[in-house]
Amino acid sequence: MVDFKYEIVEKIAVLSESSKGWTKELNLIRWNDRDAKYDIREWSPDGSKMGKGITLSNEEAAVLKKALASRNDL
């Protein structure tokens, strides 16, 4: 298994919590000493395990923000 490093630079929001205590979070994370990116994924209650997620650059996050803001049902 490949080792990787990460640092949670900023915890932005908890989006939801499962019945088992895992939380889906939006965080700003630095992966392998690179620039921080927005990250959405599930985390175990103690923060020691993570699920699969998605990372977004600043530009991608801006496009997502604009797309969500343009929806009438939110």
Residue 62 has pLDDT above 80, yes or no: yes
Q: Average of pLDDT values for 32-41? A: 97
What are 7-12's contacts with CB under 8 Å, separation 24+?
Answer: 9/36, 10/36, 12/38
Q: Which of 59, 67, 54 is nearest to 26 (CA)?
A: 54
Domain boundaries, the chain: 6-69
Output the pTM of the full model.
Answer: 0.88
Looking at residue 74, what is its pLDDT? 66
Is 6-69 a CATH 2.30.31.70 domain? yes
Separation CA 8–CA 27 (nearest Å): 7
Amino acid at the residue 47:
G
